[in-house]
Each structure stands twice: as structure tokens, then as C-alpha cells.
Structure 1
């Protein structure tokens, strides 16, 4: 007569039997990948008010995160577009609904735009939760990516003794906040630190590299298969588009107010 197995041994045998029949335990599902815009992807950049989906027939829209709703984002998604959430990561803005959350101690010198002051990016402990809330807003509205503006404070007269090291630490923190939420993130300007940051960011956004003869410094992003979204304000398209195409940039001319008007290369 066969003896009954002990309960613990029976359970172990059952697990082994099931695993043997199924070829082993199921593999974990892969994490969803972030959107990765490719070099040369056409785009529209409109920060003046709500997005106008008829302003450009392009696959990417970069719009203001505060001034656009989840419905605005969904409308662009229905048209097959990816949508980037613009937020200011380097300056306090007096006109934003969360402006009271920024302590006076982290507000520095005016940055030249009405109602804005540079932030003390050394204070990661203060700025991290504030930026996390802004990125949470982008995620909750359905955005695919974030464009955090003013990531080159150390190159400006901010009222704080900022160094390149402070900026690297802050920019990497910003990238981690985005990635932790499944969002792609773009490096805005900050050309000197591209070699150190190209691995941390999913694309770049640049203003006026052609005017200042600096577009070649963005090639690490293109070589990595990452888009460079680029605008010029003062130059005519004939003055920069040939170089932009040669370098693989996604280039256009815009008015400084960043309304719906554009002249693409």
C-alpha cells in the first residue's frame, strides 16, 4: 500500500509538477517602453494658449502643460499625435497656480521674462516635490513626454552661486522624475553638458543654435537615435535649413511668442 505524503512534501511535488508541465513559472511582463522620438521627426511648438490642432499637420505637438487640459491632449492623440508637456523647471513663475508653493528663499534674480525668477537648483530637497507635482500633472493629463525649460541656469546670472555640477545633479533629477512616471523627457538647451546628459534624456529641444553657430554640438543626440527639436527666431529658413537637414535636426522658424505660426525646413 502506498503511503500518503506529508502535506508540505505534497505541496512541493504539486508545484514541481505544474512547473514541469508548463515549462517553468511565467515570465514577468516587460515594462512598457517610453516614447522615443527619432531624428528628423516634424513637430509643432505652441505655448501661447491652448493648442490649435489645425495649425500644423505633424506627428508631435509641444504645448503648455498648465494651459491645456486632458481633453486637449486626447484630441491630439485621436489625430495620431504624440504630445509633449511644457513646464518651467528652472524659474519660478508668478502666474502659475502652484506659485505659492515655492519658498521665497529659492527665488532668485529675474530672468528677463515678466513674472519669472530663477530658482536655486541647489535645493533639490525643496524643488524635487514641487517638480514631481508638475510631472504628475503631465502624466495625469495623458502627455507622452515633458519639456522642462531653463535647464541651463548655471550659465546665467541667477543670484545664486551655481556651478556646472549643480546643474548636472538637478538635470539628472529632472530626468529621473520623468522616467519614474513613464514619461520621455527632453534636454532644453544646455549645450555644454550634452556629452554628460545625452544618456539621461530622450530627446533635445534647442533654440537658436544656428544663429550662434552651435548646432554641431547637438549631434550626440542624433547619433544616439534621439530627436533634436530645434527652432530659430531671427534667421530665415534659407539661412539654416540646409545645415539642419544635414545634421538630422527637426527644425523650423517660429515667432518668439510661440503661437501657431511656423515655417518648417
Structure 2
């Protein structure tokens, strides 16, 4: 299966065995983050089940991310939830430590993350309006930044970086 919107293969996490094999592979990448001195990891695509509801379930996604967060913790790393506000309340089950919330200001979702993670939420907005909304509601509590979607390097023509 292929996610054409993002240009990425979809991982088949439907069975415990498949989740464990995939988590072992990703665990090696997490180990590399430890070796490079990182303090945290944010496994991407936690929300893939929302784009492929006939194939994947939220329960499978939570079981998979729990394996990754456990491995991260074994390596001394914090593990972040990226997006997926509907699962933020499952933090105890998943073992996730903080959230990276893209466009929670734009979509009025920041409260869903703070309800679960308190102030341990990093907000990334991609529009001036989203940044304004996030800063107005959460700027005194959360780390909020506006970036360009391509995360262009500083000095390039597409580079955007603004804070509250």
C-alpha cells in the first residue's frame, strides 16, 4: 500500500508480529538518534490509520507506537506524539511523553493536546493566521513556531520562521 498524498509506503501494522518486526527495524533508527546525542524522537505517521480506515485501526497504531516509545525510553530518549489529537488522551497506554502538534492553532486543537500533555506540547504552524491563533490562545504556555512546510534552510527563498 502506498500513501500517494505523502509519497510514502504504508507500514502494515495489522498484526502483533508485523508490529514487532517493524518496531525492531525502527528501533535501530532510534538507536542512531541516541548515538547522535538526541534527547527525544518523534515517530512519524502515527495518524496513518486516519487515511486508511479500511486497512488500519487506532488500536493498531497505539500498540505500534507503544513499542517505539518503550524502545526510546530504554535508550534514555523521550518519545513524542505527532498530531493525532484524537489519541492524545491515550498517553498512558502509548507511553508518549510530549506532543508535536502541527497546526493545532489553525484547527482549534491545541486544547486537546494540553489536556493530555499539559505544557509539554510543541506547536508548529504553517500560516500567519494559524500562528496568530496559537499565540493568542497558548503563547504564554507552549513553544510555538511558524515554519514553511518544506522546512527550508535559513537564507533560502522559502525559509519561514516566526514565533509569538
Specify the TM-score bucket, using the shorter chain as the normaliser: 0.7 to 0.9
User: Is the CA contact (8 Å cut-off) linking 2:110 and 2:134 kept in structure 1?
Assistant: no
Task: Compute the displacement of 1:235 (Å).
Answer: 3.3
1:263 aligns with 2:155: no
Instruction: Report the counterpart of residue 150 of structure 1 in structure 2.
Output: 45
Aligned alpha-carbon RMSD (Å): 2.0
Structure 1's unaligned 5+ residue stretches are 1-107
Task: Compute the displacement of 1:205 (Å).
Answer: 0.3
| More helix, by proportion | 2
Instruction: Report the counterpart of residue 83 of structure 1 in structure 2.
Output: none
Name the SS of the counterpart of 1:149 in structure 2.
coil
Q: Decide which structure has the larger Cα Rg and report it.
A: 1
Paired with 1:166 and 1:140, the residues of 2 have a C-alpha distance of: 29
Task: Compute the displacement of 1:121 (Å).
Answer: 2.1
Paired with 2:86 and 2:132, the residues of 1 have a C-alpha distance of: 27
1:214 aligns with 2:109: yes
User: Is the CA contact (8 Å cut-off) linking 1:184 and 1:201 kept in structure 2?
Assistant: yes
TM-score normalised to structure 1 length: 0.53
Name the SS of the counterpart of 1:252 in structure 2.
strand
1:179 aligns with 2:73: yes
Paired with 2:79 and 2:45, the residues of 1 have a C-alpha distance of: 13
Q: How many residues align?
A: 153
User: Is the CA contact (8 Å cut-off) linking 2:97 and 2:117 kept in structure 1?
Assistant: no
Over 3 Å off, 4+ runs: none
TM-score normalised to structure 2 length: 0.83
Name the SS of the counterpart of 2:43 in structure 1.
strand
Cα distance change, pair 198–254 in 1 and its aligned pair in 2 (3 A): farther
Task: Compute the displacement of 1:221 (Å).
Answer: 4.1
Instruction: Report the counterpart of residue 13 of structure 2 in structure 1.
Output: 121
Structure 2's unaligned 5+ residue stretches are 155-159
Paired with 2:132 and 2:24, the residues of 1 have a C-alpha distance of: 44
Deviations 1:168-196 (A, max 9, x none): 10111111010011111111111111111
Q: Which has the higher contact order (CA 8 A, sep 6+)?
A: 1
User: Is the CA contact (8 Å cut-off) linking 1:172 and 1:197 kept in structure 2?
Assistant: no
Paired with 2:162 and 2:127, the residues of 1 have a C-alpha distance of: 12
